[in-house]
Structure 1
Amino acid sequence: MDATTTAQRAAGVPAADATRPEEVPWGSVWGQPAAVETLRAAASDPSGPAHAWLITGPPGSGRSTLAHAFAAALIAEPGDERAVHQVLSGTHPDLTALRTEGVIISIKDARALVERSYFAPSLGRYRVIVVEDADRMAERTSNVLLKALEEPPERTVWVLCAPSDADLLPTIRSRVRTLRLIDPEIADVAALIARRTGVDPALAEQSARHAQRHIGMAQRLATDDAARARRDETLRAVLGVRSIGDVVEVAGRIVQIATDDAKALVAERDEAERASLLRTLGVAEGAPVPPAVRSQLSALDEEHKRRATRSLRDGLDRVLTDLQSLYRDVLMAQFRRGDLINRELDAEIQALAAAWTTERTLVVLDRIAETRRNLEQNVAPALALESMLVTVASGRTP
């Protein structure tokens, strides 16, 4: 359980632009005015807010940022900016935030959340439990939360976040109030990225388009040359698949690219956490680790392995999302409608659209979606990708 995750880190973007005092805590939320007004009204309702909420929206829409802003509005007394900043930084004692570093949320973590939910608020108006990856709960784990959602303490509010309400069990959905976020426009995301990072507007637009409006990913593409290069390499490699030999080679390259990307995302954080733990334990830099503290380092190493596994799975999912955008473009070219996401590959897309039937393009899109589901079920990445690429090469499902 990570109770120190900030709202900005949860959304995958840095702190928002400077806000006026009257905007606290909502100034960190971007592009969701209707959702902000709904939650602002709920937080100030004299009769109290609904006891459980589900915030849904596409990746990068700011679900977690909004959840933490809502938590700050619930916990802090009006005008208490110190408490607001404590909640937003994850240090307030009445906030418990869970963002799993693994592939799924464990039953152990869910039980700890339920236990915490029955504590009375220590300083604030409410105790708030934020579950940032509620879609990563298996059925058994979801069932652990049911009773707490059915009969919550009077001053506890649950806030769950997921891409869609369909990602949760019906029994969970029936016990929460759902708030659906809107998908921002590409031009709006591009303007935000250009303002925050100072990159050229054309690069900001390209990054927003390639990220398909995912704010955090758009910012990374705009500011990381290597990330842009890896994306381009992956798409061009798949476009070049023609034979079974190509299938095996390209599947291996995709896994390696995703692995490198995952390492780039977590390596610096892992090293900082290890160094911080050693300092806390009184171990000087470069000194041997005493046997008495090795178990704590081993536990941290295990956490890092789980994080690396999740980061790799997320990286592969991003690759497949990019491939879906590519073959969506092919389909749009075949129907001669819609703007292309991958305009930089227009010549290749038009050639493929002329060579393939629409039925073959749809088969490939279905196969990519199936591969995403298979990877969620822990199918070996290389085998899943090889099977998908056979369909790309042949137009037929193996």
Structure 2
Amino acid sequence: MSVWDDVVGQETAVEVLRAAVADPAAMTHAWLITGPPGSGRSNAARAFAAALQCAEGGCGHCSACTTALAGTHADITVVATELVSIKIEETRSLVSLAQRAPAGGRWRVILIEDADRMSERTSNVLLKAIEEPPPRTVWLLCAPSPQDVVVTIRSRSRSLALRVPPVEAVAALLVSRDGVDPQVAATAARAAQSHIGIARRLARDPEARERRARVLTIPGAIRGVGDAVLAAGRLVEVAQAEAAAATEERDAQEKAALLRSMGAEGAATLPPSLRAQVTQLEKDQKRRATRAQRDGLDRSMIDLLSLYRDVLVVQLGADVELINTTLDEQVRTLAEASTPEQTLRRMDAIGETRTRLAGNVAPLLAMEAMTIALRPQG
């Protein structure tokens, strides 16, 4: 057992990180770990952080390793925002923290899982700390690609690129770590396109599999503009419901905890000074729900892209395995009812919708435009 066990399909990257742990004199003060969604950026960064604190380089069972992986190590700070972006105030507090010597560990490690969610202004706050770090501080920044981080940060960090892990490696991890049935694990890993987190959710949550299955019935159910508009509404409603389910209980607990800390639990009205704190919390919770909804819609579009990818494979007669192996009949029906050019146009429409959503376009309008583009062409 070691801290690297869950970093699947990244042998080359792990070798680089192991070498850095083994030679502190050559240790880089800032790392930019990049890779497509699901490649395991966060897993690799957390494993690296644990190995840096371990006297044996990541044994996986000592106190340093177990606390690091559990997120309770005193000298490892992890930032994983659930909002649309990382706040500048939060970054300033990290810069101050970086100046402190480790409390008891070998290094002070600051891990930012969503470095791509820092605005240019926020990144500039971080720049000085990365340019002139204390000798025992290490920054670990994670992002989908180097281009998602401002060039000034990028140029001062050591880049480490991860790749999409093989389906077989992800399935094997689900079997060994989570006890998932091998056949279910293989299907989930393939449907998730090797995204480790999504594969785990699909393998363990029947409702998640059912939601995905419903999304993939949409192309076959659209016959005209009316069907397209209804389908778009359903997609947005499902995403909103999932976001509410994921955040509602937590929102209530956070608000209750805040009121309790201010001594205002059960109060009918709040004085203005306390009301401002509650208002700020509610704004943050709304931003978190917005991101959860966007992420849910984006996942639906990725699933639709996987379906049309399979349709194109069949249309071109390519000798490539399907992603949605359980939907062979549906894929072939869609392939027979259209041309490769039409399939590519539909995939472009989905990709354009993903871009629009990232640019704060109203979700319902964006989804309606997309589903209308998916309707059969006469």
Q: Go from structure 1 to structure 2 and tell me whether the alpha carbon gap of 1:199 and 1:129 turns closer, same or farther (over 3 Å shift).
A: closer
Q: Go from structure 1 to structure 2 and tell me whether the alpha carbon gap of 1:68 and 1:200 turns closer, same or farther (over 3 Å shift).
A: closer
Q: Go from structure 1 to structure 2 and tell me whether the alpha carbon gap of 1:144 and 1:251 turns closer, same or farther (over 3 Å shift).
A: same
Count of residues paired in the alignment: 372
One-letter code aligned to 1:157:
V
My pick for the range that moved more, 318-327 or 91-100, is 91-100
Residue of 43, 47, 53 corresponding to 2:31: 53
1:329 aligns with 2:310: yes
Residue of 136, 142, 146 corresponding to 1:155: 136
In structure 2, what is the equivalent of residue 383 of structure 1? 365
Query: What's the CA shift for 1:249?
Result: 0.6
In structure 2, what is the equivalent of residue 9 of structure 1? none
Q: Go from structure 1 to structure 2 and tell me whether the alpha carbon gap of 1:118 and 1:105 turns closer, same or farther (over 3 Å shift).
A: same
Q: Structure 2: how far apart are the matches of 1:197 and 1:82?
A: 23
1:342 aligns with 2:324: yes
Partner deviation per Cα, 1:252-294 (whole Å, 9 max, x = no partner): 100111122223333454455556656766788xx55784776
1:313 aligns with 2:306: no
Are the counterparts in 2 of residues 75 and 125 from structure 1 also a CA contact under 8 Å?
yes
TM-score under structure 1 length normalisation: 0.84
Secondary structure at the counterpart of residue 130 of structure 2 = helix
Are the counterparts in 2 of residues 363 and 395 from structure 1 also a CA contact under 8 Å?
no
What are the ranges of 5 or more consecutive residues in structure 2 without an aligned counterpart? none
Are the counterparts in 1 of residues 222 and 376 from structure 2 also a CA contact under 8 Å?
no
Secondary structure at the counterpart of residue 77 of structure 2 = strand
Are the counterparts in 1 of residues 8 and 165 from structure 2 also a CA contact under 8 Å?
no
Q: Go from structure 1 to structure 2 and tell me whether the alpha carbon gap of 1:194 and 1:290 turns closer, same or farther (over 3 Å shift).
A: farther
Query: What's the CA shift for 1:206?
Result: 1.6
Secondary structure at the counterpart of residue 374 of structure 2 = helix
Query: What's the CA shift for 1:76?
Result: 4.4
One-letter code aligned to 1:45:
D
In structure 2, what is the equivalent of residue 245 of structure 1? 226
Task: State the Cα RMSD in Å.
Answer: 2.7
Are the counterparts in 2 of residues 252 and 382 from structure 1 also a CA contact under 8 Å?
yes
Partner deviation per Cα, 1:353-377 (whole Å, 9 max, x = no partner): 2222222211111221121111111
Secondary structure at the counterpart of residue 179 of structure 1 = strand
Query: What's the CA shift for 1:100?
Result: 1.0
Partner deviation per Cα, 1:163-196 (whole Å, 9 max, x = no partner): 2222223332222111122322222222322333
In structure 1, what is the equivalent of residue 117 of structure 2? 136
Matches within 5 A, 1:196-215: 196-215=177-196
Partner deviation per Cα, 1:237-262 (whole Å, 9 max, x = no partner): 23322211112111110011112222
Query: What's the CA shift for 1:108?
Result: 2.3
1:36 aligns with 2:14: yes
Q: Structure 1: how far apart are the matches of 2:325 and 2:307?
A: 10
Q: Structure 2: how far apart are the matches of 1:371 and 1:192?
A: 33
Matches within 5 A, 1:98-247: 98-247=79-228
Are the counterparts in 2 of residues 68 and 87 from structure 1 also a CA contact under 8 Å?
yes
Are the counterparts in 1 of residues 34 and 145 from structure 2 also a CA contact under 8 Å?
yes
Q: Structure 2: how far apart are the matches of 1:49 and 1:290?
A: 55
Q: Go from structure 1 to structure 2 and tell me whether the alpha carbon gap of 1:318 and 1:68 turns closer, same or farther (over 3 Å shift).
A: same
My pick for the range that moved more, 372-381 or 113-122, is 113-122
Matches within 5 A, 1:247-396: 247-271=228-252, 273=254, 291=270, 298-337=279-318, 338-393=320-375
In structure 2, what is the equivalent of residue 15 of structure 1? none
Q: Go from structure 1 to structure 2 and tell me whether the alpha carbon gap of 1:76 and 1:290 turns closer, same or farther (over 3 Å shift).
A: farther
Identity among equivalent positions (%) equals 52
Query: What's the CA shift for 1:339?
Result: 1.3
Secondary structure at the counterpart of residue 260 of structure 1 = helix
Are the counterparts in 2 of residues 56 and 163 from structure 1 also a CA contact under 8 Å?
yes
Partner deviation per Cα, 1:58-81 (whole Å, 9 max, x = no partner): 222221122122122224444893
My pick for the range that moved more, 334-343 or 196-205, is 196-205
Q: Go from structure 1 to structure 2 and tell me whether the alpha carbon gap of 1:110 and 1:346 turns closer, same or farther (over 3 Å shift).
A: same
Q: Structure 1: how far apart are the matches of 2:198 and 2:20?
A: 31
